[in-house]
Structure 1
C-alpha cells in the first residue's frame, strides 16, 4: 500500500513521531489506510454531527474532521486527561480546533445525555471489552441513514492496555459479539473493510 500512495504528509508524520516517540505512547492509533478510509467515508457521508469514542492522541479525529462538510462538528471522547490535552495540541497543529471538541470523561456518561437520533456518524475505537455496550448506547443515537464505524474488528492484537484487567480473551469475545450483532441486525447494513486491523462499517436503515 505504501508503494501506491505518496509518502505520509509532513504534518501527520510529525504528529505521529512526536506523539509516539516524544510522549512514549504505544502505536495503537488507527493505521494510515484506515485513516484514509475514515476520511473518505466522512467526505462521502457528509455528517453534521459526529461522535468519536476514544481520542488517543487525535490521529483519527484529524482524518474525520478533514472529511466534515462546512458546519460539521466532531465531539471526541477521551477518558485520559493527558491524552486529551495532547490530542487538542495535535488538532491545533492541524488547524481543526474549530470543528472538533475533545471531552474528558467516561464515554457512557456523555452518550446517555444525547438525544435519540441526534448523530449522523459514530466512530468507536476505545476499550474493546466495552464494544457491545457502546453499540447498545450508540444505536439509538444514530439517525436513520446514519453511519456506525468501529476499528480493530479483526480482534487480532494485544488489547490489554486498552482493557485493564483483561487477558485479551474478554476483548476478543466482546469484539466478536459486536461483529455478530452489527452483521446480523436487520436494522443495519454492515460490511468489513480490510484495513490492517479491520473496520466494520454499518449503515442504519
Structure 2
C-alpha cells in the first residue's frame, strides 16, 4: 500500500478538486481494484490528469510508456493525443495486457495504443530508429537508471521524460536496497545534468518531469 508523503487529508482534497476521469477510466480503476493484484500500481487521478494535461499543452504526438499495467495512464495520455498520435506501451504481464485491451477496445482512443510484450529494455533497443516527444517511466524500479539512459537518445530535443514514483515512498532519502538506490540515482543524475532540466514534484509518490535540452 502506498504511504502518503503529505497529509492524507490534503491528498484527498487534491484528488477531489482535480478534474474527474472519464466513466471508462473510472470503470478501469474499479475493475483493477477488484480483479488485479497490486492495484496501487495505478497512477491515480492526479498523475493521470497531469499526464493528459502535459500531453495536450506540449502538442505531443509520439509517446513511449515503460510499464503499462492495466492501461490507466496509457488511456489518460491517449485522450489528449491527436487522431494520428501513437503510444507504444511496454509490459511484461500477460494478464495485465489482456485486461487493458478490453478497455482500449471500448475507447475511441484505443487505436492509438500499441502494446509491446516483453522486457522493456529489449523493446527499447528495437526502437532505435524512432523519435519520441514524451517517455513515461513507471516500471520496475531497479531498472530506472537503465530506462532513463536507454530512452534519452530516442527523445527529441525539447521532449519530455516523466518518471513516476520518483520519491519511492520516501526511500530516496536513505536508500537501502537496489530499488531505492536506482530511483535516487536517477534523480541525482537528472539534477546534476547540464543537458536536462527538471522539476521533482511531491505529487502522490513523486513525479519527476524532465526536459531534454
String of CA shifts for 1:19-46, please: whole Å, max 9, x gaps: 2203344321102101111111111112
- The count of aligned residue pairs is 197
- Contact 1:124-1:150 within 8 A present in 2 as well: yes
- Give secondary structure in 2 for the equivalent of 1:2: helix
Matching residue of 2:52: 39
Q: 2:72 aligns with which of 37, 56, 59?
A: 59
Q: 1:49 aligns with which of 51, 62, 77?
A: 62
Over aligned residues, Cα RMSD in angstroms?
Answer: 2.0
Scaled by the length of structure 2, the TM-score of the pair is: 0.85
**Cα distance in 1 for residues equivalent to 2:211 and 2:130:** 13
Q: 1:89 aligns with which of 102, 122, 135?
A: 102
String of CA shifts for 1:82-123, please: whole Å, max 9, x gaps: 111111112222332211111111111111122366111100
Which protein has the bigger helix share? 2
**Cα distance in 1 for residues equivalent to 2:194 and 2:28:** 40
- Contact 1:117-1:143 within 8 A present in 2 as well: no
Shift of 1:5: 3.5
**Cα distance in 1 for residues equivalent to 2:61 and 2:111:** 14
Superposed counterparts of 1:1-205, under 5 Å: 1-5=14-18, 8-115=21-128, 118-156=131-169, 169-205=177-213
**Cα distance in 1 for residues equivalent to 2:137 and 2:124:** 12
Shift of 1:7: 5.1
Scaled by the length of structure 1, the TM-score of the pair is: 0.89
Shift of 1:8: 4.7
String of CA shifts for 1:38-77, please: whole Å, max 9, x gaps: 1111111122211000010000001111111231100111
- Contact 1:55-1:61 within 8 A present in 2 as well: yes
**Cα distance in 1 for residues equivalent to 2:148 and 2:18:** 33
Can you give the 5+ residue segments of structure 1 that lack an aligned partner in the other structure?
159-167
Can you give the 5+ residue segments of structure 2 that lack an aligned partner in the other structure?
1-13
**Cα distance in 1 for residues equivalent to 2:93 and 2:133:** 25
